[in-house]
């Protein structure tokens, strides 16, 4: 693995006191449905509303003085940009976030409120990444990638350390799968500490870039479509250095969900768990509700983010037809 257990433990030390050690909360309803204990890792309770704060905080903490002085830049589907803007702001570092037109306005506005510069370009995460690379080349800014970066992966992996600390008898873990920063980091930690745990990636059927790449045996490009799980959109990068290989080697399977199934996860989170989560945050719940995984023992899933447009949330909860 390109990111080791020791790297993740070091990240845990760097970010302690800067991020929230989130609760692992039991779900009575899901436990009854599945016939085994089901627990939810409440990452949507982070100060920025998503798990991404862990990776961004660790990556910023690892920067040298010259890198800090030149400012940081990243491409983002929203949550990484918000996390990087927050982490950089705490350190007095300038941040620029590049996003495509597909990123919801509520996520763009939240990043701007944190003081970061916003650059909207193109219609895909790949377009945003190209712009971020251009700023690195032209202005000498320091890139902090949203997922394919050892420091970011190690930061996300601290979730895995907490999961095993809180639930040593864990049997199955459902983890969001997009660019692979979360999935690879958490899987690296969990598999190192408890190799028998099944770690299953969960994504949307629309434009699941990592799943398409795993099927092809190498990174591939996919068309990026609008989805309720917008935080899971975007490619993994044709020159992927870390997350593709780690997901290939560590994941025990991948589940893909329809838009209707994702919506059902959002609704369940609200009505049964009293939690507001975005589409990506609800995919673990959705996979269980759709009977796409057969639990054998204690299950954990991650509520990865809550940064959903509230009008969209209302429409999903009310069962309005969504395109």
What are the residue numbers of the active site?
52, 304
* 156: number of Cβ within 10 Å: 32
Asked if 316 contacts 266 with a C-beta cutoff of 8 angstroms, the reply is yes
From the CA atom positions of the chain, what is the Rg in Å? 18
Instruction: Give the side-chain half-sphere CA count within 13 A for 269.
Output: 35
CA distance 202 to 208: 10
Cα angle 193-198-201, degrees, rounded to a multiple of 5: 110
Indicate the SS3 state at residue 224. Answer: coil
Task: Give the CA distances from residue 56 to residues 94, 98, 177, 179, 302, in Å, rounded to whole numbers and listed in that order.
Answer: 14, 15, 18, 15, 18
Task: Give the CA distances from residue 207 to residues 113, 129, 204, 321, in Å, rounded to whole numbers and listed in that order.
Answer: 30, 17, 7, 21
């Amino acid at each position: 693995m390109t990111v080791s257990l020791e790297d993740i433990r070091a990240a845990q030390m760097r970010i302690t006191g800067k991020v929230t050690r989130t609760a692992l909360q039991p779900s009575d309803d899901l436990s009854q449905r599945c016939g085994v204990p089901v627990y939810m890792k409440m990452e949507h309770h982070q100060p920025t509303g998503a798990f991404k704060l862990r990776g961004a905080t660790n990556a910023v903490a690892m920067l040298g003085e010259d890198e800090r002085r030149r400012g940081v830049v990243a491409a983002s589907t929203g949550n990484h940009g918000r996390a990087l803007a927050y982490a950089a702001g705490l350190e007095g570092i300038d941040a620029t976030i590049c996003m495509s037109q597909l990123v919801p306005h509520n996520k763009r506005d939240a990043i701007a409120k944190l003081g970061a510069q916003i650059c909207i370009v193109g219609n895909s995460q790949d377009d945003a990444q190209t712009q971020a690379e251009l700023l690195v080349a032209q202005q000498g800014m320091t890139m902090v990638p949203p997922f394919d970066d050892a420091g970011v992966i190690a930061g996300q992996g601290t979730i895995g350390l907490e999961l095993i600390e809180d639930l040593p008898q864990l049997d199955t873990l459902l983890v969001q799968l997009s660019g692979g920063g979360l999935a690879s980091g958490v899987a690296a930690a969990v598999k190192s500490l408890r190799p028998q745990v099944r770690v299953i990636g969960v994504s949307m059927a629309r434009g699941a870039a990592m799943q398409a790449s795993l099927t092809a045996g190498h990174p591939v490009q996919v068309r990026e479509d609008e989805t309720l799980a917008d935080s899971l959109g975007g490619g993994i990068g044709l020159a992927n250095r870390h997350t593709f290989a780690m997901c290939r080697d560590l994941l025990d399977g991948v589940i893909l969900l329809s838009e209707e199934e994702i919506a059902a996860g959002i609704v369940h989170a609200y009505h049964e768990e009293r939690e507001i989560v975005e589409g990506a945050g609800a995919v673990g719940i959705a996979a269980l509700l759709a009977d796409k995984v057969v639990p054998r023992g204690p299950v954990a899933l991650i509520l990865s983010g809550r940064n959903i447009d509230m009008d969209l949330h209302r429409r999903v909860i009310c069962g309005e037809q969504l395109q």
